[in-house]
Amino acid sequence: MRGAVLYRPRDMRFEEREVPRITQPTDAVIRLSATCICGSDLWPYRGINPVPQPTPMGHEYCGIVEEVGHAVTKIKPGQFVIGSFFASDNTCPNCQAGYQTSCQHREFVSTAQAPVLRVPLADGTLVPTRDVPSADLIPSLLTLSDVMGTAWFAADAAAVQPGKTVVVVGDGAVGLLGVLSARQMGAERIIAMSRHESRQKLAREFGATHVVTERGDEGNSRIKQLTNGIGADSVLECVGTQESMMQAIRSTRPGGSVGYVGVPHGVALDGQELFFAHVHLHGGPAPVRRYLPELIDLVWNRKIDPGKVFDLTLPLDQVAEGYRAMDERRAIKTLLRP
């Protein structure tokens, strides 16, 4: 089969790769209905994360089970399944506490930009839908594998509650779906920090009540103006830079919470400032598996439509263009059809 392979910064190729097969008795092999490009894929694509050798790419996936290992008992061929970007057994103490991305036996699923994918620890990782979904549901179901699950974790970690005020730092796919998550959780005011008109429009469609274009001290002042000088109850940090983290912390009221899910790059916290901020910080790699059953129900019953975050759809063999479009900010998120 052919799949995406990153050779060096901005050198993405679509070339022959070995067809996945069962290698462990707990594996499943699935034929993908759709995959996509994640904002975090841009870190190695831009050379910010090193690429020491040709590297298969992709960690967001959904599709039909073709084969399972002899130890797999819950997942069966023919089922439509969605799984997390980290495989987990869903039975270890960390999994039982709801942190499957810290599973004691976790494995990163990193070769999903291809027609076929091997998923380790299938019984713990994959969640089947009740039936094979209609084609129009597949984009939204795909988001649950990472981007929507990550946004939901950001809102959960930030303790979003009905009637409260939420700020979302970042207008990429995770930030936009953070707006959707906060709205679904009942937030009364949702302030999206965005400078891009097309992204502002989608943020409002997902439930943003205000848009703030300012950054840094000016952004903090604007948030304070909108919150009677106090700050937000909950802030979702969805970027992963020093500037976005400090924007989030300084936009939060004393006693409020920051949920941070942007993969950190160069982030360092000042202990003294954090000490006197009285802000709760919680985040990390999203335990997507924890939320999959609930989110699948929301999508299946058409209560949320996170698939709207895909503003570019390409055949898989045009994966290089999908990366270029996101790198150049011509696209928010690219869906790839094998």
Per-residue pLDDT at 149: 98
Q: Could you give the 3-state DSSP secondary structure of residue 198?
A: helix
Per-residue pLDDT at 309: 98
Provide the residue-wise pLDDT of the chain in tens; the chain has 338 residues.
999 999 999 999 999 999 999 999 999 999 999 999 999 999 999 999 999 999 999 999 999 999 999 999 999 999 999 999 999 999 999 999 999 999 999 999 999 999 999 999 999 999 999 999 999 999 999 999 999 999 999 999 999 999 999 999 999 999 999 999 999 999 999 999 999 999 999 999 999 999 999 999 999 999 999 999 999 999 999 999 999 999 999 999 999 999 999 999 999 999 999 999 999 999 999 999 999 999 999 999 999 999 999 999 999 999 999 999 999 999 999 999 99
Whole-number Cα distances in Å, 219 to 33, 65, 216: 41, 47, 5
Per-residue pLDDT at 292: 98
Whole-number Cα distances in Å, 204 to 81, 97, 121, 214: 31, 34, 39, 17
Per-residue pLDDT at 199: 96
Per-residue pLDDT at 276: 96
CA 294 and chain centroid, separation: 16
Per-residue pLDDT at 249: 97
CA distance 256 to 207: 21
Per-residue pLDDT at 329: 93
Tell me the DSSP string of 242-304.
HHHHHHHHHTEEEEEEEEE-SPPSS----HHHHHHHT-EEEESS--HHHHHHHHHHHHHTTS-
Per-residue pLDDT at 108: 97
Residue 263 buriedness (CB in 10 A; 0-12 / 13-18 / 19+): middle
Strands 232-237 and 252-260: parallel
Q: pTM value?
A: 0.97
